[in-house]
Structure 1
Amino acid sequence: MDEIDRKIIGFLARDARASLSSIGSAVGLSVSAVNERIRRLTAAGAIRRTTVDADPHLLDLPILAFVWIALAPQADEAAFREYAAAQVAIAECHHVTGPWSYLIKIHTKSLAGIEDFLADMKKHGFLSRSETIIALSSVVQGPFIPKEGMV
């Protein structure tokens, strides 16, 4: 990957709908050359997906919370990972070091939605303990990608 590839990825990260022509003009390549590089970067896995950045507030999901999760001793970790991948409230789930098993980022309609989320994890036998941190505002954040069924 060279500097032009990095610039192309940067343009697409800021605006996935940027035209090949505008990207080509910015990096000094033809439309076909930009297209070929994007195809190659996608095939190599450097570009994993092209997506949209949705506003959770406009989708009626104003509550952003981070939940530290400690899995129950009897919990099947593979089953938990499948469960987490299927949960529409979960925007991100990270396996972490330290006293917690996972850090989960969720978007919900209300504070009651956080309680419902935790109750469901308990019902499935995954949760030993948790700590929830509610975000008051976001100074810098990545794109919000809603999952089907979330809105």
Structure 2
Amino acid sequence: MDITDKKIAALLAEDARRSLADIGEAVGLSASAVNERIRRLAASGVIKRFTVDADHALLGLAVTAFVLVGLDYDAGEEAFKAFAADHPSVAECHHVTGGWSYLLKVRVRDLAGLETFLAELKARRFLSRSETMIVLSTAVERGFTLAEV
């Protein structure tokens, strides 16, 4: 992957609907050369998917929270990871260092939805302990960064 591939990935991250000609103009390639590079980036797994950056509040998911999870390992780590992968409220799940096992980014309709989600974690006995932080506002959120481009 060279600098041109990185620039193409960064341009697509800003706007996945950007035209091949527009990308080509930005990186100095023809549209067909850009298309071939995008195909190779997708085939190699560098580009995992093309997606939409939606306004979650307008979609009815007004509350974002981060949940630090101290996993109860008797419940099974694989079962927890499967739960997180399948649950529609979980936007992200990260295995972390320090005193916690996992960090979840959760999006729900309202505080009652967050309470329901936490109750579900407890009912499945995944938690030995947890700490929840509710997002008041978001100053910066990027789906993709590439500092050296």
Tell me, yes or no, whether TM beats 0.5.
Answer: yes
Which residue of structure 2 aligns with residue 7 of structure 1?
Answer: 7
Aligned to 1:64: 64
- Return the letter of the residue paired with 1:142: R
How many Å apart are 1:22 and its aligned residue? 0.6
Aligned-residue offset at 1:101:
0.6
- Deviation, structure 1 residue 80: 0.8
- The answer for the alignment partner of 1:80 in structure 2 is 80
| Matched residue SS, 2:142 | coil
Residues 1-151 of structure 1: pairs in structure 2 closer than 5 A:
1-143=1-143
State the alpha-carbon separation in 2 of the partners of residues 3 and 109 from structure 1.
Answer: 41
Show the counterpart of 1:146: none
Match of 2:147 in 1: none
Task: Give the % identical residues.
Answer: 58
2: CA distance between counterparts of 1:16 and 1:103? Answer: 28
**Aligned-partner SS, 2:69:** strand
Query: How far apart are 1:128 and its partner, in Å?
Result: 1.4
Deviations 1:125-146 (A, max 9, x none): 2111110001111110134xxx
Map Cα deviations across residues 60-107 of structure 1 (whole Å, 9 max, x no partner): 111110000011131210111111100000000000011111000011
Amino acid at match of 2:134: I
Q: 2:94 aligns to what SS in structure 1?
A: strand
Instruction: Name the CA distance, whole Å, in 2 between partners of 1:103 and 1:37.
Output: 34
SS in structure 2 opposite 1:140? coil
> CA separation in 1, counterparts of 2:109 and 2:142?
19
Which ranges in structure 1 are unaligned for 5 or more consecutive residues? 144-151
Unaligned residue ranges in structure 2 (runs of 5+): 144-149
Letter in 1 for 2:5: D
| Cα distance in 1 between the residues matched to 2:42 and 2:24 | 17
| Structure-2-length-normalised TM-score | 0.93
Q: Secondary structure at the match of 2:130?
A: strand
